[in-house]
Structure 1
């Protein structure tokens, strides 16, 4: 790992309209590219904007956005299955939540029981006997047999207990916001039928009209409907939201959604730090533990890039001050004379 990096090695850091968490995450990923991956160049957006947290083409083609071979293999396998993953963002954009998804589930799912053991810890469900199936970027093949809309799940995990089959809808947030897409759920017959069969929400009309929780509601509804159609199970799915510990919005939205549920225990929020701690404590091999350490460094250990971050902030503040209070010609002449 390079200790002599400069801000120039980290590349362009446009602020755009990002949150403080997003800007810090983008900076840390830029540091990880230069320090850990030893990639000195950086890529551009499709519009041509250079950004330090985007891998250049050669690094992307080499699979450097994936922390383990199992993560890259998961991406390649899912891509062959059809639409649902963005190959550009997945291979180039280091802040992509889809990339984080495969970096997390690729390793966990490559071991027979690792994913099961992590779920036991996160959900406090020691009765989980076996994970029977899991899919990423999942949507039913025939939407009309389910809810009829374009909702897609980050991941859907089915597991078996002594009581039968259950399901977990996994929603993962890194730097992205919740979807602002609005649907007329209150006037949707399929959602009304789902409520009648599951009793998922205590006041369905208010839940359907609450646009702030719309994405979580649609994902939870789809997971519950998948269990009904595919497994003939009438117990609602559990919604598991995983977000970065610096993301203050995600848990707030989750709590708002929980207030809409008949059974609030059917929605769970867990920080990414706790997920990786659970993964580390249950890692089957030393190689798997090393993979978790890499995930922690890449996504959580902002202390590793803190010195350069503070330098970046100081430089940005100085630049803003100069723009607001430019030197007069007399001051420029005085500085020139001194020099």
Structure 2
């Protein structure tokens, strides 16, 4: 495994290597793009070309449509890396957004609100670049949803998803510009926007929320309506949850929630947004790490290369 991996990332890599061998029944595995090292949580080229990183036809189709619409998804990681958060987003959400009313019920419950009536659009890896929403940088939102509310207004929801990767700490020159500052002119979303952008703990979520707010202002047309931010992460991702909660603690009028993937799947099944067969498959693929516990124990015994060795011995 890469030496920069956190312990949680190593745990997730081991689970995905287990998934490749015992669920997908694929003995061959691929190589990390950067180092060229073998890795059990990377699909071999032939298996990646068959679309085996995607759990449903809808997820694969959504990826292919986004891929052809412009820069924003990494084709190597999306098709080969079983740990890819972009692939996670397609797998977890693609089918759920196919039914506009059920999607509104699902995301309404996740956000703790009952006024979302219908999903109007769903954009994977949304960017405002070269659009009126642009804030001056290349911020991407994992998924941007537009809902119609009961009062007829538009509600924008930014969804940020994580499996085991860290939140980005990348700085941009635009963060200190007027395009960001004007978002707080009519509505005080952040207690201190500059501080939220300055901190490595909250920078990525601030940028994503700001881009969603830009869409809310322009498409919704009201200066006093905040966009919502939903963070979806693994129940074992303690650091990710802590960072998200730190971000939300700095909001005044902004709205959002931190939800774990197991809770997401439970609500998705209860609302009919996803069938139980798919929620079960997604739980095995991403959530229930206990299934690969034996492989993980072997990984820890054999060292950082154990994600290859333990599940292929």
Scaled by the length of structure 1, the TM-score of the pair is 0.84
- Asked if the contact 1:129–1:160 (Cα under 8 Å) also holds between the matched residues in 2, the reply is yes
Whose relative contact order is higher, 1 or 2, with alpha carbons under 8 Å and at least 6 apart? 2
- Tell me the alpha carbon deviations over residues 37-64 of structure 1, each in whole angstroms, 9 at most, x when there is no partner: 1111000022321100000011111111
Q: 1:15 to 1:251 in 2, by over 3 A?
A: same
Instruction: Give the equivalent residue in structure 2 for 1:225.
Output: 214
- Asked if the contact 2:101–2:117 (Cα under 8 Å) also holds between the matched residues in 1, the reply is no
Higher Cα Rg, which structure: 1
CA distance in 2, matches of 1:124, 1:20: 32
Instruction: Give the equivalent residue in structure 2 for 1:169.
Output: 158
Instruction: Give the equivalent residue in structure 2 for 1:238.
Output: 228
The alpha carbon displacement at 1:207 in A equals: 2.8
Instruction: Give the equivalent residue in structure 1 for 2:244.
Output: 254
The alpha carbon displacement at 1:112 in A equals: 3.7
Q: What secondary structure does 1:40 align onto?
A: coil
Corresponding position: 1:114 with 2:102 = yes
CA distance in 1, matches of 2:251, 2:273: 36
Q: What secondary structure does 1:211 align onto?
A: coil
The alpha carbon displacement at 1:139 in A equals: 0.9
- Asked if the contact 1:143–1:149 (Cα under 8 Å) also holds between the matched residues in 2, the reply is no
CA distance in 2, matches of 1:186, 1:311: 45
Structure 2: segments with no counterpart, 5+ residues: 307-313
Q: What secondary structure does 1:66 align onto?
A: coil
Alignment size in residue pairs: 302
Q: 1:206 to 1:309 in 2, by over 3 A?
A: closer
183-192 or 146-155, which moves further after superposition?
183-192
Corresponding position: 1:275 with 2:264 = yes
Instruction: Give the equivalent residue in structure 1 for 2:311.
Output: none
Instruction: Give the equivalent residue in structure 1 for 2:309.
Output: none
CA distance in 2, matches of 1:48, 1:15: 11
CA distance in 1, matches of 2:47, 2:149: 43
Instruction: Give the equivalent residue in structure 2 for 1:179.
Output: 168
- Asked if the contact 1:130–1:161 (Cα under 8 Å) also holds between the matched residues in 2, the reply is yes
Structure 1: segments with no counterpart, 5+ residues: 1-13, 320-339
Scaled by the length of structure 2, the TM-score of the pair is 0.91
The alpha carbon displacement at 1:144 in A equals: 6.1
CA distance in 2, matches of 1:189, 1:127: 32
Choose from 22, 25, 32 the match for 2:9.
Answer: 22
